[in-house]
Amino acid sequence: MAGNTTNISIRMDSDLKAQADALFGELGMNITTAFNIFVRQSIREGRIPFNITLQPNRETIMAIFEAERIAKDPSVKGYNDMDELFADLRK
Question: What is the average pLDDT across 61-68?
Answer: 94
> In this model, does residue 18 exceed pLDDT 80?
yes
pTM of the model: 0.54
Domain ranges of the chain: 2-45, 58-90
pLDDT band at 2 (very low <50, low <70, confident <90, very high): low
- The 10s digit of each residue's pLDDT in 21-35 is 999 999 999 999 999
Which helix (DSSP H) or strand (DSSP E) does residue 37 occupy? Answer: helix 31-45
Q: Provide the CB-side half-sphere exposure for 57 (13 A, CA).
A: 1
1 has a pLDDT exceeding 70? no
pLDDT at residue 3, as a whole number: 72
**Model confidence pLDDT, tens digit, residues 45-59:** 999 998 877 788 889
